Structure 1
Amino acid sequence: MARTESNSLVAKRPFYKTPMAVAKACFIGTLLTDVTYWRSAEMMWADFSAWLLFAGLVVGVLAALAALVDLFTGRLSGAARSAWPSLLGNLVVLVIAFFNALVHSRDAWTSVMPTGLTLSVAAVIVLLLVCLLGWSSDHNRVEVVE
């Protein structure tokens, strides 16, 4: 029997998705620690929020740089249309998180209430919308190379 080789090539996972998942976890953690601070007024939770924001921003910027690498190396070529809403949504989350970090740099109660908590909620809502857009589009495509 002759051996046949497949001409299909599975699309590779873009580089930016892994660090952005870590940044998203940090931003969701920020919301949780902001809510905990709001309920308890324990300064430790506001400090946790500030650190989570900082970590999320650093990793999010690395994810944005990885997205540029993906864009310029052609890793997004097969799923370019479905990747743009996700990329833009993640960029919006990073901008919200940046302003949230500025708010969290204040002292005590004003670092979280009410603006910090509101920005944390807004960031998580945008993250949820990005996830819904991601689920509605097909990211697991198989490209056929002939």
Structure 2
Amino acid sequence: MPVNTAPHRSVLANAVYGLLNPLPFGFFVAALIFDILYVRTAGVLWNKGAAWLIVFGLLLAIIPRFVSLAQVWITSRQLAQRADKLDFWLNLLAIVVAIFNAFAHSRDAYAVVPTGVWLSTITVLLLAIAQVLMAVHDSAREGVQP
């Protein structure tokens, strides 16, 4: 008699995801702060610093997205809930916006303004919405009252 076992998520994948997922948000928030400082001071180093922060945020966003892709859409489809899928799409959209932001920051000097600030703001907002969504979802799953 075959035993039907519920699919489970990999402990290693969960650990890697939990370790690396918050890092891009920090880099993108720092890039937004640098963009705002660049608008206020016109110091070129703020612009270059924001460009590097966006690149590092994008590099660190790749691994958690692959883990999320595997867990939400491939290996644990039965466990993935609507909030998990929405979190995946919001993060993916934020990465696409950040890629455009990296291209915007490759422009010379003050040509970055206001496009860079708006793209940084949109990236941070998308990631923040995804984080809040998952926090609410996790607290509801655990039965914690708001």
Q: Same fold (TM over 0.5)?
A: yes
Q: Distance in 2 between matches of 1:31 and 1:77?
A: 37
Contact 1:57 1:98 in 2 (8 A): yes
TM-superposed CA distance for 1:77, in Å, is 5.0
TM-superposition CA deviations, 1:89-121 (whole Å, max 9, x none) = 11011011000000000010112x010001011
> 1:63 maps to what in 2?
64
Distance 1:29 1:77 in 2: 36
State the distance in 2 between where 1:35 and 1:82 align: 32
- The 1:77/1:28 distance shift into structure 2, 3 A limit, reads farther
Other-structure match for 1:125: 125
* In structure 1, distance between residues paired with 2:121 and 2:96: 14
**1:136 correspondence with 2:136:** yes
The residue type equivalent to 1:126 in the other structure is: L
User: Matches of residues 42-57 of structure 1 in structure 2 within 5 Å?
Assistant: 42-57=43-58
Deviates more, 1:14-23 or 1:55-64: 14-23
Q: TM-score, normalised by structure 2?
A: 0.78
> In angstroms, what is the RMSD of aligned CA positions?
2.4
Inter-partner Cα distance in structure 2 for 1:105 and 1:23: 19
Aligned residues: 131
1:26 maps to a residue whose letter is F
Following the alignment from structure 1 to structure 2, what is the Cα–Cα distance between the partners of residues 38 and 32? 10
Task: Work out which of the two has the higher radius of gyration on C-alpha atoms and give 1 or 2.
Answer: 1
Letter matched to residue 46 of structure 2: W
**CA drift at 1:52:** 0.4
Alignment match, 1:116 = 116
TM-score between both structures, scaled by the size of structure 1? 0.78
- In the alignment, the residues of structure 1 paired with residue 123 and residue 83 of structure 2 have an alpha-carbon distance, to the nearest angstrom, of 21
Q: Which runs of 5+ in 1 are unaligned?
A: 1-10
- Separation in 1, partners of 2:136, 2:103: 34
The 2-side partners of 1:23 and 1:58 are apart by 8
Q: Percent of pairs identical after alignment?
A: 30
Counterpart in 2 of 1:100? 101
Cα distance in structure 2, aligned partners of 1:60 and 1:139: 24
Q: CA deviation at 1:41?
A: 0.6
Question: Does residue 37 in structure 1 map to residue 38 in structure 2?
Answer: yes
Cα distance in 2 for residues equivalent to 1:102 and 1:60: 17
Q: Write 1 or 2 for the structure with the bigger share of strand.
A: 1
1:85 is matched with 86
Q: Distance in 1 between matches of 2:94 and 2:18?
A: 14
| Alpha carbons 1:22, 1:59 under 8 Å: kept | yes
TM-superposed deviation, 1:141: 5.2
